[in-house]
């Protein structure tokens, strides 16, 4: 039985994997989604990719259950249009928000109340590079039973 | 003793031997036919946990033949000697020397 934390991360992954133009999104960012690894793309690799990156969680109240706040950052890397690279970033950010922030914000009752929006950061294109990047963080508050994650 | 002429000769020999033909067109100015030398690309990583490794392309140009190379200058040159011409866009000056300039370029889409 996967842990609740694993199920939460899998839920984020499943939602962003739906990001395809065929599904009504602006980009096909969902075609390449990484989880659980630090990835270094290169020439010949997909032009756009996402990564699910869990951050350091914060344990809260501890009794029969441990209340945990798990930050999950959805990181984006994409080839940007040289003249309007910021538009590429905004398009993918919009798609990620649309995919993650569905009507069910409990991730199928995995989290307490609902997921929360964290910070968004952008990496602008630098001279000599064709890439743009961004990251949007969500917080998943949930509980674990002692010894039964 | 003035070594200026010798330095210029050495520079020109370098560009002849190691350079590729390049047509440089600064914004709003006439095109200049010259030669450029591709320096060894510096591979840099961009991103956070998800990163991309990409070569940063740098070309050396003679300052006396192309005195001004502002951002947005277009350069038509092959990526390798004998290869097909490609268009590049200048993004920044990486280095300025007495007789040449190194510019950072990206492929023009």
**B83 burial via Cβ count (<10 Å: 0-12, 13-18, 19+):** exposed
Tens digit of pLDDT for each residue in A4-63?
999 999 999 999 999 999 999 999 999 999 998 899 999 889 999 999 999 999 999 999
ipTM, 2 decimals? Answer: 0.86
pLDDT tens digits for range B15-60: 999 999 999 999 999 999 999 999 999 899 999 999 999 999 999 9
> Nearest CB to A75: which of B48, B106, B107?
B48
Q: Determine whether A110 is exposed, middle or buried from the number of CB atoms within 10 Å of its CB (0-12, 13-18, 19+).
A: middle
Flag if A50 and B47 touch (Cβ within 8 Å): no
Would you call B40 an interface residue with chain A, using a CB distance cutoff of 8 Å? no
Give the separation between CA B100 and CA B26, rounded to whole angstroms: 16
Mean pLDDT of B85-106: 96
B 46-105: CB under 8 A from A: 46-54, 56-58, 89, 91-92, 104-105
Cα-based distances in Å from B75 to A149, B33, B58, B83, B102? 59, 10, 12, 15, 13
Please state the rounded mean pLDDT for residues A83-106. 92
Q: How far apart are CA A44 and CA B54, in angstroms?
A: 11
What is the mean pLDDT of the segment spanning B72-92?
Answer: 96
At residue A56, the pLDDT reads: 96
CB B75 within 8 A of CB B22: yes
pLDDT at B1 over 80: no
Contacts of A114 (CB under 8 A, 6+ apart): A105, A106
pLDDT, residue B109, reads 84
Structure confidence at residue B79 as a pLDDT band (50, 70, 90)? very high
Closest-CA residue of B relative to A46 is: B52
Interstrand relation of B50-62 and A39-41 (parallel, antiparallel or unpaired): parallel
Q: Does B44 lie at the interface with A, CB-CB under 8 angstroms?
A: yes
Q: For the segment A110-135, what is each residue's pLDDT rounded down to a tens digit?
A: 999 999 999 999 999 999 999 999 99
B78: closest CA of chain A, how far (Å): 17
How confident is the model at residue B20, as a pLDDT? 97
Reported residue count of chain B is 109
Name residue, tokens 């000599």: A128
Q: What is the pLDDT of residue A60?
A: 93
Instruction: Give the contacts of B76 (CB within 8 A, at least 6 positions apart).
Output: B22, B23, B25, B85, B86, B87, B88
Per-residue pLDDT at A84: 86
Contact predicate B69/B24, CB 8 Å:
yes
DSSP state of A31: G
C-alpha span between B27 and B62 (Å, rounded)? 18
The rounded mean pLDDT for chain A is 94
Q: Cα–Cα distance between A58 and A68 in angstroms, integer?
A: 6
């Amino acid at each position: 039985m996967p842990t609740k934390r694993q199920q939460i991360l899998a839920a984020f992954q499943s939602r962003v994997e739906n990001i395809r133009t065929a599904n009504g999104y602006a980009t096909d960012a969902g075609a390449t989604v990484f989880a659980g690894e630090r990835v270094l793309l290169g020439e010949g690799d997909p032009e756009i990719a996402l990564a699910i990156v869990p951050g350091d969680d914060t344990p809260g109240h501890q009794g029969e259950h441990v209340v945990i706040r798990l930050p999950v950052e959805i990181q984006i890397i994409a080839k940007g249009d040289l003249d309007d690279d910021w538009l590429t970033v905004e398009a993918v950010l919009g798609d990620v928000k649309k995919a993650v922030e569905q009507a069910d914000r409990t991730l199928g009752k995995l989290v307490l109340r609902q997921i929360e929006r964290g910070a968004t950061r952008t990496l602008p294109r630098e001279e000599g590079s064709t890439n743009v990047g961004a990251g949007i963080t969500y917080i998943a508050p949930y509980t674990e039973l002692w010894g039964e994650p | 003793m003035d070594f200026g002429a010798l330095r210029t000769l050495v520079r020109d020999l370098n560009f002849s031997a190691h350079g590729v033909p390049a047509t440089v067109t600064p914004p709003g100015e006439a095109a200049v036919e010259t030669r450029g030398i591709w320096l060894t690309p510096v591979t840099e990583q961009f991103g956070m946990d998800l990163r991309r490794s990409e070569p940063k392309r740098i070309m050396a140009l003679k300052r006396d033949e192309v005195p001004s190379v502002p951002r947005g200058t277009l350069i038509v040159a092959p990526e390798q000697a004998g290869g097909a011409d490609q268009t590049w866009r200048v993004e920044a000056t990486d280095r300025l020397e007495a007789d040449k300039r190194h510019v950072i370029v990206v492929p023009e889409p």
